[in-house]
């Protein structure tokens, strides 16, 4: 009987060893699966981290471009204000020149065709007239330059409008062509 007890005990130990071996194999397979999932998750995290860094870089670039465009827009607004100020100054200078011309004509009419020799005041008047002419010429050139820049922008706008209309027509034609298929 003791031998039967030992055999039964050995049989029980074999069954337990087989069960433990099966359990170990199952757990090993489960660990392997979890390690593979963990590796895949780590790769996904690395990929997402890289994408996030790229997106942050692009966002910084866009913020920089936005700031640059905003500065350019502010400067363009300043040019318009500057142009208006120059036009006002030009108008004032033109009015001064007209007033000086009117005064000169009145003086010429009053004293005949040849005005008396008023050396000091005549020189001063001529000097002011020259300064006014120089300033007027300067501001006229600035106005012309600004008008030229405006004309160039208008031409670019017209070109882009034509291109837009052409592309829009091509898109509509393409949509009709696809619709017919």
Per-residue pLDDT, 90: 77
The verdict on pTM exceeding 0.75 is: no
Q: Which residue has the tokens 């000097």?
A: 127
Per-residue pLDDT, 122: 61
In the predicted model, what is the mean pLDDT of the chain? Answer: 82
Per-residue pLDDT, 57: 85
Render pLDDT for 19-31 as a digit per residue (tens, 0 to 9).
Answer: 999 999 999 999 9
Tell me the torsion sign for CA atoms 27, 33, 38, 39: positive
Record the tokens describing residue 51, joined without a space: 């994408």
Closest-CA residue to 141 (of 83, 96, 92, 75): 83
Distance CA 145, CA 139 (A): 10
Distance CA 164, CA 108 (A): 62
Record the tokens describing residue 19, joined without a space: 């069960």
Is 81 in contact with 110 (CB distance < 8 Å)?
Answer: no
Mean pLDDT of 11-16: 92
Render pLDDT for 65-112 as a digit per residue (tens, 0 to 9).
Answer: 888 877 776 776 666 677 777 778 778 877 877 787 777 777 777 776
Is 132 in contact with 97 (CB distance < 8 Å)?
Answer: yes
38: confidence class by pLDDT, cuts 50, 70, 90: very high
C-alpha distances out from residue 14 to 1, 4, 6, 129, Å: 20, 15, 12, 123
Is 104 in contact with 130 (CB distance < 8 Å)?
Answer: no
- Percent of the chain having pLDDT more than 70? 89
Is 139 in contact with 86 (CB distance < 8 Å)?
Answer: yes
In terms of pLDDT, which residue wins out, 132 or 161?
161
Is 105 in contact with 161 (CB distance < 8 Å)?
Answer: no
Distance CA 33, CA 35 (A): 5
């Amino acid at each position: 009987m003791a031998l039967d007890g030992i055999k039964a005990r050995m049989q029980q130990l074999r069954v337990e060893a087989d069960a433990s071996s099966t359990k170990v194999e199952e757990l090993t397979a489960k660990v392997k699966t979890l390690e593979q999932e963990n590796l895949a998750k780590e790769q996904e995290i690395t990929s997402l981290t890289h994408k996030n860094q790229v997106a942050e870089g692009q966002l910084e670039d866009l913020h920089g471009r936005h700031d640059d465009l905003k500065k350019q827009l502010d400067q363009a607004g300043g040019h318009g204000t500057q142009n208006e100020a120059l036009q006002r100054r030009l108008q004032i200078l033109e009015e001064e020149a007209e007033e000086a011309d009117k005064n000169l004509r009145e003086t010429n009419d009053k004293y005949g065709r040849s005005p008396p020799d008023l050396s000091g005041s005549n020189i001063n008047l001529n000097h002011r007239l020259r300064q006014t002419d120089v300033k007027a010429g300067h501001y006229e050139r600035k106005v012309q330059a600004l008008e030229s820049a405006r004309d160039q922008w208008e031409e670019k706008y017209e070109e882009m409008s034509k291109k837009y209309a052409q592309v829009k027509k091509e898109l509509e034609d393409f949509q009709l062509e696809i619709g017919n298929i």
